[in-house]
Amino acid sequence: MSTKAVITGWGKCIPPVELTNADLEKLSDTNDQWIIDRTGIKSRRISHVDGTDLAELAGRRALAAAGLDPKELDLILVASTTPDLICPSVAAMVQDRLGAVNSAAFDLNAACSGFVYATANAAGMIESGFVKKVLVIGAEKLSGVMDYRDRSTSVLFGDGAGAVVYEASEGDAGVLAVDLGADGGKGQTMVLKSMGTNGNVFESLLAEEMALHFEGQAVFKIAVQGIAASVTRVLGTAGFESEEVDVVIPHQANARIVDAATRLLKLDESKVFMNIDTLGNTGAASIPMAISDALDADQISPGDIIVLSAFGGGVTWGSIVLKWGERTERLGHHEGELPPTDATVFDLIEPNLRFFAELHGLDPEDLPS
C-alpha cells in the first residue's frame, strides 16, 4: 500500500475573553438578531496573548493527543494571515518553544484556506517520504486588525488556534485526494495591508489603509461557487459520491455560505459540522478547531470519509478528502492553559477603537465600557 498522511493528534486553543453580539451593539448600528440571521454567529473570542501563544498551546495539545514527543517531529507548518512577526516565522518560534530540535518549520499564508493548503503540503511531503511526522497549526489573531465599528467585518472574525498531527501510515486511512486553486484576479475582494499583530501595529499605517477591506456580497458568491466546485472535483478525484461522505468540516466562514454550498452540493445537512456560533470566523484556525470539536462531540468515527473545504482571500480555495484512522480518542492530555487575564473585552480592543475612531467621526477618547 502507498504511504498516506493520517491524523493521529488534534487540539485547539480558545482565548477566554468573549466579544458578544450585545457588545457589538454598543459599537455600530447592529443587533443580535441581525448578526445571527446573516452570519450564524452569537459570539467570538478575543485574545489577550499573541497568536504564537495560541499556536503553541494548540500544538502541545495535539502532540499530547498523538502521544508524541516534540523531538519526534520532522516538520512544523503554521497557517496564518496574522502572524506576530514576518520573521522569525510563527512556526520557527513554536519549534523553539516546543523543543522540537529535529524539526523544520515554516509559515504558509493562504488566508482562510491556509489549513487546507498546509495539509496538502504535509500530506505531499509524507507521501514522498521526505517527512514522517508533521504538526500542522492554524492560528489567527484577527482582532489585531479589526475596525470594531465596521459592522461588515467586526461581526465575523475571532481569534483562536487549532492543530493536527499527521503521521505516515501504510494502511488505507489518510489523505486520499486534494484540490487546490486560486484566482488572484478577484483578490481585491478581501485585502489586509497590515504586516503583523505584534506590538503597536496601529502606528504603521493610516486608519483608512489599515482596516480590513471586505466586499461581502462578492465574497459570498465567489465562496459558495468556489467551495461547491472544489468539493465536486476532490470527490471525483477520490472516487466518491457525495452520499458516501460521512462528515464535512468546512471553513467556518459564515453559516449562510456553508448552507448555500451544502444545498448546491446536495449534501445531507446533518453531516456538515458547524461551530461558528460561539467562535466566529477564525480564518486558518477554523477547520482544525472544528476537527477537535467534532471529535469531542463524537461526530467522527474510525474509518469515516471526511471532507475538509475552505475558501479565503487571495482568492484561494481548497478541499481535502481523507479517511479517518482507527483512533478517535486522545492518547494523552496537555494540562497547560493560557495565562489568566482580568481584562474586559473593551480593554482588549481599546487600541482598535482609538485608532479607527476618526474614520467614524468620533472622539478617540469616547470609548464604551
Catalytic residue of the set 48, 121, 251, 352: 251
Distance CA 269, CA 262 (A): 7
Residues with Cβ within 8 Å of 72's Cβ and at least 6 positions away in sequence, in order, are 102, 133
Catalytic residue of the set 21, 121, 254, 281: 281
> Cβ(115)–Cβ(287) under 8 Å?
yes
Residues with Cβ within 8 Å of 94's Cβ and at least 6 positions away in sequence, in order, are 52, 55, 56, 59, 76, 78, 100, 105, 137
How far apart, in Å, are the Cα atoms of 164 and each of 20, 66, 217, 263? 28, 9, 32, 29
Distance CA 337, CA 248 (A): 29
112 an active-site residue?
A: yes
C-alpha cell at 155: 461581526
Q: Is 205 exposed, middle or buried (0-12, 13-18, 19+ CB in 10 A)?
A: middle
Q: Is 182 exposed, middle or buried (0-12, 13-18, 19+ CB in 10 A)?
A: middle
Catalytic residue of the set 21, 48, 112, 254: 112
251 an active-site residue?
A: yes
Residues with a known catalytic role: 112, 251, 281
